[in-house]
Amino acid sequence: MGAVVRSLAGAGGAAEGLVRPRGDLLPDPHSYHLVGISFFILGLGTLLPWNFFITAIPYFQGRLAGANGTTGTLSTNHNGPADAFNFNNWVTLLSQLPLLLFTLLNSFLYQCIPEKVRILGSLLVILLLFVLTAALVKVDVSPGPFFSITMASVWFINSFCAVLQGSLFGQLGTMPSTYSTLFLSGQGLAGIFAALAMVMSMASGVDAQASALGYFITPCVGILASIVCYLSLPHLEFARYHLAKKSSLAQGPELETKAELLPPDEKNGTPSSPQKAALILDLDPVKEPKLHPEELQKPGKPLVVIVFRKIWLTALCLVLVFTVTLSVFPAITAMVTSSTSPGKWSQFFNPICCFLLFNVMDWLGRSLTSYFLWPDQDSRLLPLLVCLRVLFIPLFMLCHVPERSRLPVLFPQDAYFITFMLLFAVSNGYLVSLTMCLAPRQVLPHEREVAGALMTFFLALGLSCGASLSFLLKALL
């Protein structure tokens, strides 16, 4: 939480540096703080649905284990959860396929549907579907129909989340880059928020049904807060000023406007503070790639093929990072149980050591790129580090998963799983953030928008590949 406060403080400082030279246009000197908080909450809201569904895997597995009605609990039993219907795999796959699909459809949706309709409509549909999920806690439904309803909800919720996320990134393109950092910080905290909600629901002492109901009501409150934040943006002068540029300025004039608003020392590429140097990524002096002189003299409209040739290795690294991560998390890791005797620790083991630990360390790994970027864009060490993560697949598969028929358990102690998860999560967060930061540095300034779109596509491709591979890995256990 301290890092979040530092990010908000950095947002205020950077916004202040950007706004004061044009104070006549922005008479409200405090609105940039509210804008930063709004985008932080909106970032939180975009990933709450995915995280609340995967963190509640034990509840869904309990509901699907038999025709006992509303007996699902938020905790796993000591013998391990019975993954009926391959729920772990399906919830991961049906969460990531919509992201890939709507990434491909983004240009069509952006042209046909107004931005306000996309964002506000997506938030309202997500809210309604989560209300349905919470209501189902109280409804006695047999496993088959319950699985079908849940999978349909997962598909539609994540479809609208993909539209929402893409639309919000479009809005962030008109804002100072500090607000992109805050938005991403909010997304990083969504998993921590979901895991803490799970632990608190389990520790509340109420019956299983009330605990599950309280858990699913929590994201409804988070989505409502996101709706309020989005509706408040047009009433904040700082946001209104920047968002008004979207319809009249292209990327080139926008960068020029940002440069004019910077203090004199930052115009020359020397930010006045380390925080601003880390956050104002689009204005940082970067090492340009070695290109043909004709390409440097004729910027023109960037071609996707040319941009892809420059970033293909970084894009491939991003795909492999997410393929490894989604192949075992949560499909395999959610099935790992404590090897200790039944008790409080075994009850809280998976929520804390799988979901909470992963999200905290993943967020920490993403935050490290604010302080250093290593290895750099010219190093061949990055592909090596990414490939080494493949080792996590057999390591997790050989941990204490009771329900297995082929592979032995070579790492039964809890300490093994905790150590693997810590390294797995930190490396995931750091390498994802690193590849997303390095890709724009490998192309010319006018090609960075295309590079960002390509990296978003390969991010979604990696998530979908990992979710698909999880079926095979589950069958090999």
For residue 411, list its beta bridge partners.
399
CB 76 within 8 A of CB 202: no
CB 40 within 8 A of CB 57: no
Query: Out of 172-176, 242-246, 380-384, which region has the weakest mean confidence (pLDDT)?
Result: 242-246
pLDDT tens digits for range 407-429 = 999 999 999 999 999 999 999 99
- pLDDT given at position 206: 77
- Averaged pLDDT for residues 257-274: 39
The chain-wide mean pLDDT, for the chain, equals: 79
> How many angstroms separate the Cα of 57 from the Cα of each of 123, 361, 461?
23, 20, 24
Burial of 217-229, coded b for 16+ CB within 10 Å and e otherwise, reads: bbbbebbebbbeb
- Round to the nearest angstrom and report the end-to-end CA distance of the chain: 38
- pLDDT given at position 302: 66
> How many angstroms separate the Cα of 27 from the Cα of each of 21, 30, 386?
11, 9, 48
CB 29 within 8 A of CB 23: yes
- Averaged pLDDT for residues 431-435: 91
Phi then psi dihedrals of residue 448, to 5 deg: -70, -30
pLDDT tens digits for range 183-229 = 878 888 899 999 999 889 888 877 778 888 889 999 999 999 999 99
> Which residue has 């699913």 as its token pair?
216
Q: Hey, what domains does the chain have and what are their CATH numbers?
A: 1-265+276-284 (1.20.1250), 286-477 (1.20.1250)
pLDDT tens digits for range 17-73 = 344 434 444 435 556 788 889 999 998 999 898 899 988 888 888 888 864 445 566
In this prediction the pTM is 0.77
Q: 438 CB contacts (<8 Å, ≥6 apart)?
A: 314, 373, 376, 377, 382
CB 277 within 8 A of CB 284: yes
CB 247 within 8 A of CB 257: no
pLDDT tens digits for range 453-467 = 888 889 889 999 999
pLDDT tens digits for range 99-157 = 888 878 876 777 788 888 999 999 999 999 999 999 999 998 899 999 999 999 999 99
